[in-house]
Amino acid sequence: MAFLDNLKTLEDKYEELTADLSRPDIISNREVFLKISREQAELYPIVEEIRKYKKLLTEMQDAEDLLEAGDEELRKLAEAELEELKKERPEMEKELTLMLIPKDKRDERNVILEIRAGTGGDEAALFGADLFRMYTKYAESRRWKVEVIDINATGIGGIKEVIASIQGRGAFSRLKYESGVHRVQRVPLTEASGRIHTSAATVAVLPEAEDVDIKVEEKDLRVDTFCASGPGGQGVNTTYSAVRIVHIPTGIMVQCQDERSQIKNKDKAMKVLRAKLYELEQERLERERAQERKSQIGTGDRSQRIRTYNFPQNRVSDHRIGLTLYKLDRFLEGDLDEMIDALIAHFQTEKLKEVSALEGA
């Protein structure tokens, strides 16, 4: 009965949202209208599946009623139909159960990607550049737009730190499990003896926050401007176009110097700040929920060492799911889907186990 009650709750919610979209006060408020439209659109596929399931249950009941009829021929037809419907039911219930897994509302968001060189000196910075190129290639393959917000490059082609925006449908859903420590094993170009060197870089994938998620008060901000450093010509280096923003209550500092325009730099920096504040709020909520859970599942926390890139063996291994692929060369060219699909399937299965355990408790 709990299963059917859950289905009814979702269907009622969908009908309520549909009715809300015709209310004049909501139509006149663009922000609220878009929020409700998005929520209704997310529920539409499961409501369609619920209606198919309810139709199947009705047809099963009709067939059972015919079994009570006196007509022998009708009973035989009803038996055959009921047999077919009983075969369809488990598959439909399995599909609905998967759809009932709580959806991450952030999945359709754009992404703020941060890559920082870790242990390993120049080699770590070179690996950071490899990772950024890899994610840029992957974004291009999915027709997503990549915009650099801030970058600290080294003179030998490495990247000590880069912050970029990746804009495209479902970007966060595909990249959210990339957060963590990425380790590389290879012979550095600067290593004369040919010894394999191990270094690391950290990757953080944050969902881009919307204004409706996080309200940032101007009084809570300290905004400084300064001359941009690095390449860009005289105009970049002599005008106060670079922007640094400090969020006073949390101490979070962000900066952007990629654009010639101070206004554009401030806008990009605010995107990063909102994403960081949104993540802080999500982490707080997650801690509260964790206290009520009976079991915990991995989340792809970026403090974990999640993956190793071994160049001598052309191997990439994800330690969370035990998957090893011998195509590191293609992986670094942005061929990430096999790994990402496996990660999504793994974490969906873990969530399904958690939902089932809570329902059975």
What's the CATH code of the domain at 28? 1.20.58
Whole-number pLDDT of residue 96: 83
Q: What is the pLDDT of residues 119-129, one digit of tens each?
A: 888 899 999 99
**CATH code (residue 322):** 3.30.70.1660
200 part of a folded domain: yes
Tell me: do 149 and 267 sit in the same domain. no
Query: Do residues 310 and 335 share a domain?
Result: yes
38 domain residue, yes or no: yes
Same domain, 320 and 193: yes
For residue 300, is pLDDT > 50?
Answer: no
pLDDT of residue 75: 83
Based on the fold, state whether residues 205 and 222 are members of the same structural domain: no
* pLDDT at 314 > cutoff 90: yes
How far apart (Å, rounded) are the C-alpha atoms in residues 113 and 101? Answer: 26
Output the CA–CA distances (angstroms, integers) from residue 154 to 127, 159, 161, 274, in the order listed. Answer: 12, 6, 10, 28
Stretch (H or E) spanning 159? strand 159-167
Q: Is the pLDDT of residue 297 over 80?
A: no
Q: Which of 99, 129, 163 is the last residue of a domain?
A: 99
Kindly state whether residue 160 falls inside one of the protein's structural domains.
yes
Say yes or no: 198 and 229 in one domain.
no
- Whole-number pLDDT of residue 182: 96
Based on the domain organization, do 190 and 41 belong to the same domain?
no
Residues 284 and 205 in one domain: no
Looking at the fold, whether 206 and 244 belong to one and the same domain comes out as: no
Check residue 211 and give its pLDDT. 60
Same domain, 247 and 329: no
Instruction: Count helices and strands (H / E) in the chain.
Output: 10, 11
Give the torsion sign (CA, 65, 67, 70, 75): positive
Q: What pLDDT shows up at residue 293?
A: 42
Q: What is the mean pLDDT of the chain?
A: 85
Q: What is the pTM of this model?
A: 0.66
Q: Which residue has the tokens 């009622």?
A: 12
Q: Is position 159 within any domain?
A: yes
Query: What is the per-residue pLDDT across 217-247, written as a single tens digit (0 to 9) for each?
Result: 888 899 888 887 655 444 445 567 889 999 9
Domain-embedded: residue 43: yes
Give the total number of structural domains in the chain.
3
Residue 266 has pLDDT above 50, yes or no: yes
Domain span including residue 14: 2-99
The single residue listed with the structure tokens 């090893």 is: 324
Residue linked to tokens 């080699």: 123
Tokens of residue 80, six digits: 């055959």
User: What CATH number has the domain bearing residue 261?
Assistant: 3.30.160.20
Residue 105, domain member (yes or no): no
Q: Average pLDDT for residues 63-79, to the nearest whole number? A: 82
Indicate if 261 and 280 belong to the same structural domain.
Answer: yes
Q: Establish if 346 belongs to a structural domain.
A: yes
Is residue 3's pLDDT more than 80? Answer: no
- Domain termination site, one of 40, 73, 99: 99
The reply to whether 104 falls in a domain is no
Domain end (from 66, 99, 132): 99
- Are both 75 and 190 inside the same structural domain? no
Quickly count: other Cβ atoms within 10 Å of residue 343's Cβ: 22
Number of neighbours of residue 132 by Cβ within 10 angstroms = 20
Q: Looking at the structure, do residues 115 and 206 belong to the same domain, yes or no?
A: yes
